[in-house]
Amino acid sequence: MEATIALAGNPNSGKSTLFNALTGARQRVGNYPGVTVEKKEGRYELNGIKLNIVDLPGTYSLTAYSPEEVVARDFLVDQRPALVVHIVDAANLGRNLYLTLQFLELGVPVVIALNMIDVAVERGIRIDAEKLAHLLRLPVVPTVARSGKGKEALMEAVAAVVQSRAPIDPLFISYGNEIDPVLSELGRRIQAAGFLTQRFPARWTALKYLEGDEQVRALGAKADPRLHAELEAAVARLADHLQSTADTYPEAVIADQRYGFISLILKQGVVTRTGDLNRLFLSDKIDQVVTQRFVGPLFMAAVVYGLYHFTFGISKAPVAWVEGFFGGLKGLAEAHLSDGPLKSLIASGIIDGAGGVLGYTPLIMFMFFGISLLEDSGYLARVAYMLDRVFRAFGLHGSSVMAFVVSGGIAGGCAVPGVMATRTLKSPRERLATLLTAPFMNCGAKLPVFALLVAAFFESHEALVMLAITVLAWAGALLVAKLLRVTVIKGAATPFVMELPPYRLPTLKGLLIHTWERTWQYIKKAGTVILAISILLWAMMSFPQLPEVVQAQFEERRAAVLAAAPAEIAAEMAAVEKEAGEGVELSEQAQAVKEQLLTIEAEKAGAALEHSIAGRIGRALEGVSALAGFDWRTNIALVGGFAAKEVVVSTLGTAYSLGEVDPEESGSLSEKLAAAPGWRPLTALSLIVFTMFYAPCFVAVVCISREAGTWRWGAFSMIFNTLLAFTLAVLIYQTGSALGF
């Protein structure tokens, strides 16, 4: 026998912990269609019953205001799971049962897992589970998800309900003498007309009309416009009546009555308290320090810095391993494949691409681990609480700070994990604005570009420029966020109303599972797209190749240099080349010859780049880009920077016929730029600003698209950011030129 059951509950009730305890590593993570809400499924077997457990998103209610709620409700209605295991925080019974009632009104069988019994006991709350079970007429099983206590008993109860397959009638709650008659009347009409009855119980539909539920009303308007209009009219009459007689709304009365129903149940000896309800617990004492007016912000700065350091400092070694591994692989490919496009494809297209994909994984892993730790312990909610006032002014959310800092709010981050860090943000508009602006921060890949330009033109003001760059990124991100929130993502602030959960010690297992799932999702889903795009970019930079004649010319020059050299030198060079020996000491003369050959190579690479698609784009754009002070070489470099910002440096090197310049050691290039015609400090400033704001690297774009749920936002960030950056760069360059800089 097989059955699907759903796991539901308020956020912070221990739902993920229970899910992990039940399913262990046998989980599948995906997304609900069309939304970015995570969907987790796992399996559990008991007495020959195969249970497919679906972890619904944590919600407080089953309205249709957030994607989480819509997803949870649609799943219950459309997939009809055999039952819902509702994880209830025993220390918070009243508020949690509010959701239970909504499951029962929908006619879904419920088994309650009375979780956090240990916390309740510690707080002097005693709950009579049997009595609760009796009053609600459903199984109630005490559990401690953290230790796995009670999970067998819980699953026995689940199995019993699944096996009995007894259909249950939706719970009938009385909503008082104003609402009840209307509700019954509407319910009757709905039933008679068969209005949406395939999906919802009739009385429930009526109730949703009274509550003004957008989703149900939209469905109703489509299904039967006439009855829909009648229902709306009846609701409006009731609303007017309640407004004039009691100055209240139908939905308010309904909520009051539900809570009334709950307190009636709880009063029958279900909950006994020893000690004061509002006593200060350890958690409150921690808060008195950690959110204190002066200590709070300092502590928060330390924690945020700690997260940054954890993500980028500790992951340095694994990142180096990944880079080393792919570097070695590339070396092997270069040594064993014969020259030509295939070698270039494998070495520079595929291996570099795959290295690029996996190079981010340590960052993503450490970031998710750190953020999960903050989230599960309850501290992230405090960050949102303390910073809300600041970020709200820009249409953002207090927890936006995490995404900004990881993206490079402290210079040197990375937008890829930064964009993913917005997952903890539950307010949709605020989240979108955050993930679109986080890439303005100065990620580690932009820094070599800045370093190059600063070294070339602002050597004496290095520290000042670097500070200005950080301030500018923050100002830009916040102002653009504000701009987006009053234009393309406009809409009122999502209500902040939020629980500050008690501090809890997360379990290592929970953190690891969480981290791994999300990282794997990145590798699997984003990885393939990223690999494909990086091959495409490689092709753009390599094709079309130089015409045969031109290649032959370079070959001739090479041959000429070798021919001009004395015979023994030529022999020495050939010998060295055969052994591919780097370490071999060359004689002085041979060294000179080698330099000449390298110069020719570099010139050839420069010519090839100019001839490629990227080069042609760069040339074609010169007319426009001159407004910002960029010549075609800079343009090509910026096109290359779409692969990863530090590529700007190496591409600029190739374009200036210096060969591949190592972004970390760009001294030769900065000398060249400082002396190059057309370059002056103003050009550098314009380029710094452009690099900061233009299209995020494509890896970030892929992640933005995935996090936002549609490619449109990825495309938006490329186009909008580039236009913005160009406008700023032109402004700077033209104003500066006019002022004589």
Partner 1 sequence: MTRQNLRKLTERQSAVIAAVKADGELGRRIRDMGLVPGTVVTVCGRAPLYDPVALRVMGYTLTLRNNEADYIEVVVED
Ligand X SMILES: Nc1nc2c(ncn2[C@@H]2O[C@H](COP(=O)(O)OP(=O)(O)O)[C@@H](O)[C@H]2O)c(=O)[nH]1
* Chain residues that interact with partner 1, rule: CB under 8 A: 60-61, 63, 65, 91-92, 94-95, 98, 123, 125, 212, 247-249, 251-252, 255-256, 259, 277-278, 283-284, 287-288, 291, 293-294, 296-297, 381, 385-386, 388-390, 392, 494-502
Nearer to partner 1, 288 or 589 (CB): 288
CA–CA separation, 257 and 328 (whole Å): 69
Identify what 543 binds: partner 1, ligand X, none; CB under 5 to 8 Å per kind.
none
The first and second tokens of residue 654, run together, are 């190739």
Figure out which of the listed residues 3, 5, 7, 17 binds ligand X, where binding follows CB under 6 A: 17
Which does residue 498 touch among partner 1, ligand X, none (CB within 5 to 8 A, set by kind)? Answer: partner 1
Show the tokens assigned to 375.
């989230």
Check binding of 686 to ligand X (CB under 6 A). Answer: no
Distance from C-alpha of 674 to C-alpha of 677, rounded to nearest angstrom: 8
User: Measured between alpha carbons, how far is 596 from 405 in angstroms, rounded to an integer?
Assistant: 46
> Which window, 12-20, 229-237, 536-544, 730-738, contacts ligand X (CB under 6 A)?
12-20
- 336, 449, 477, 696, 721 from 701: Cα distances, Å: 35, 20, 16, 6, 11
Cα dist. 36→88, 428, 431 in Å? Answer: 25, 10, 11
Residue 165 CB, nearest approach to partner 1 (Å): 32
From the list ligand X, partner 1, none, partner contacted by residue 174 (C-beta under 5 to 8 A by kind): none
Could you give the count of Cα atoms lying within 13 Å of 557 in the half-sphere of its Cβ?
A: 15
Q: Nearest residue by C-beta to ligand X?
A: 14
Residue 524 burial by Cβ neighbours in a 10 Å radius (0-12, 13-18, 19+):
exposed
State the binding partner of 437 from partner 1, ligand X, none, CB within 5 to 8 A by kind.
none
If the CB atoms of residues 40 and 672 are measured against ligand X, the closer one turns out to be: 40
Residue 68 CB, shortest distance to partner 1, in Å, is 12
From candidates 133, 144, 454, 692, binder to ligand X by CB under 6 A: 144
CB-nearer residue toward partner 1: 485 or 518: 485
User: Shortest gap between Cβ of 137 and partner 1 (angstroms)?
Assistant: 23
**What's the gap between Cα 118 and its chain centre?**
34
- Roughly how many angstroms between the first and final C-alpha of the chain, as a whole number? 80
Q: In angstroms, give the least distance from the CB of 488 to partner 1.
A: 20
Q: By rule CB under 6 A, what string of x and - marks binding of each residue 324-363 to ligand X?
A: ----------------------------------------
DSSP state of 93: H
Q: Is residue 145 a contact point for ligand X (CB under 6 A)?
A: yes
Q: Report helix angle 447-457 to 647-655, nearest 10.
A: 50
Residue 462, φ and ψ in degrees, nearest 5: -50, -55
Pick between residue 31 and residue 494 the one whose CB is nearest to partner 1: 494
Residue 5, φ and ψ in degrees, nearest 5: -125, 155
Nearer to partner 1, 384 or 416 (CB): 384
Please report how close the Cβ of residue 248 comes to partner 1 at its closest, in angstroms: 7
CB nearer to ligand X: pick between 38 and 118: 118
Q: How far apart are CA 109 and CA 164, in angstroms?
A: 11
Which of 14, 8, 23 lies closest to 83 in space, CA to CA? 8
Q: Rule CB under 6 A: which of 24-53 touch ligand X?
A: none
- Per-residue H/E/C for 275-287: CCCCCCCHHHHHH
| Tokens found for residue 202 | 């009739």
State in angstroms the smallest separation of the CB of 509 from ligand X. Answer: 9
Interactions with ligand X, residue window 54-73 (CB under 6 A): 58
| Residue 506 near which of partner 1, ligand X, none (CB within 5-8 Å, type-dependent) | ligand X
CA atoms within 13 A on the CB side of 159: 14
As a three-state string, the secondary structure of 181-210 is HHHHHHHHHHHHHCCCCCCCCHHHHHHHHH
Convert 582-596 to b/e letters by CB count within 10 Å (16 or more is b): eeeeeeeebeebbeb
Which of partner 1, ligand X, none has residue 17 at its interface (CB below 5 to 8 Å by kind)?
ligand X
- Site pattern 96..125 for ligand X (x: CB under 6 A): -------------------xx-xx------
| 471 C-beta neighbours (distance < 10 Å), count | 9
Site string for ligand X, 484-523 (x = CB under 6 A): --------------------x-xx--x-------------
In the numeric block, which tokens belong to residue 219? 């469905």
CB of 387 to partner 1, least distance (A): 8
Question: Rounded to the nearest whole angstrom, what is the least distance from the CB of residue 156 to ligand X in the complex?
Answer: 18
Site string for ligand X, 597-626 (x = CB under 6 A): ------------------------------
| Binding footprint of ligand X on the chain (CB under 6 A) | 9, 11-17, 58, 115-116, 118-119, 144-146, 376, 504, 506-507, 510
